[in-house]
Homo-oligomer: A and B are copies of this chain.
Amino acid sequence: MKVALVGIGKIAIDQHVPAIANSPDWELAATVSRKGSVEGVEAFDDFAAFLSARPDVSVVSLCLPPVPRFDYAEAALLAGRHVMLEKPPGATLAEVHALQALAAAKGLTLYTTWHSRMALAVAPAKAWLADKRILKAHITWREDVRKWHPGQDWVFEPGGMGVFDPGINALSILTEILPAPVHLTAASLEFPSNRQTPIGAKLTFSGNVTADFDWRQTGPQTWDIEVETDHGPMALRMGGNVLEINGKPAGGENTIMGEYPALYARMAELVARGASEVDLAPMVHVADALTLGRRIETEAFDF
């Protein structure tokens, strides 16, 4: 199947392009971007021009930042294309509801991807937790924004989500592996005095679940989810790629497919089945944190 990539930035080059290149299902047939392109692939800088020039490309994968994404997704669906959305799937919940309704009305596939759910140890962790009682869970997601988003000021602009940009990856795993949903009960959010989105967040959920997100961690980076159960502790480390049960490495039924290859395999399956997959649970938790959170002003941040 032919796919077009829209928004040729860091995530497209690092992840989407190689995942498509190595997939038996997909052919990268076009790119749309004001700046980037991919060698050997037809490049457009205007989305409407792409849509009219390439009716043969039935799937569009959007890797733009969340704020501009809706207009592209809507135009693609109106032009009869299936749509795959990078995380988070939009700048607002209501716009994704609108896309969901439009895709359903047009009989097209809409897939709100959450790449971290495809990390190696997430499926085995979910399977192990399925029949356990959760006593407590804690997320530690601490990384260095200067390393992962160098100079990307949009992450601190309204809609850029701040530390929830990585934190939503943790929430996408949490909402996947827990046997029952939780809801936020309190949050404190640290906003740099010169920025519009938080750089740190501490979240408390029902069911004794807590999270610590921080974007100021230099040195070793931490992406851990630790769960205490009635059958002992389980931990997911390295962003969902390493599983420990009772403190020991646990293999589980790992696949050797990477996160983005797994997303594209899933998209191929959804299109083949004529189905959509729209799960907003991670985004709802972020909206809830920004609604209910207590704001704390902290020192100015510059890249």
Q: Is A258 an interface residue (CB 8 A)?
A: no
When all copies of this chain in the complex are counted, the total is 2
Q: Given A196-B294, A196-B295, A292-B159, A287 and B93 touching (CB < 8 A)?
A: yes
The complex places the Cα of A183 from the Cα of B100 at a distance, in Å, of 13
Whether the Cβ atoms of B295 and A291 lie closer than 8 Å is: no
Tell whether A94 pairs with B196 under 8 Å between CB atoms, given A101-B181, A158-B292, A291-B290: no
Digitize A179-201: 1 where CB-to-B-CB distance is under 8 Å, 0 elsewhere. 00111111100000000100000
Q: Can you name the residue of chain B whose Cβ is closest to the Cβ of A181?
A: B98
Distance A70 CA – B288 CA, assembled complex (angstroms): 14
- Whether the pair B92, A183 counts as a contact (CB closer than 8 A) is yes
- Residue A147 at the B interface, CB < 8 A? no
A240 within 8 A of B: no
Residues on B with beta carbons closer than 8 Å to the beta carbon of A183: 70, 92, 94-95, 97-98
Decide: A94 and B286 in contact? CB cutoff 8 A: no
Q: Is A250 an interface residue (CB 8 A)?
A: no
Known interface pairs A158-B292, A158-B293, A291-B159; A284-B181 also in contact (CB < 8 Å): no
With A287-B290, A290-B287, A290-B290 already in contact, the answer to whether A181 and B295 are too (CB < 8 A) is no
**With an 8 A cutoff between CB atoms, is A87 at the interface?**
no
Name the distance in Å between A18's Cβ and chain B's nearest Cβ: 32
Nearest CB of chain B from residue A209's CB, rounded to whole Å: 12
Does A262 interact with chain B (Cβ within 8 Å)? Answer: no
Report the bound CA distance from A24 to B159 in whole Å.
49
**Chain B residues within an 8 Å CB radius of A184:** 92, 94-95
CB distance from A79 to the nearest CB of B (A): 18
CB<8 Å pairs between A and B, sample of 24: A70-B183, A91-B185, A91-B291, A92-B288, A93-B93, A93-B287, A94-B288, A95-B183, A95-B184, A95-B206, A97-B284, A98-B183, A158-B187, A158-B292, A158-B295, A159-B292, A161-B291, A196-B295, A284-B287, A287-B288, A287-B290, A287-B291, A290-B291, A291-B291
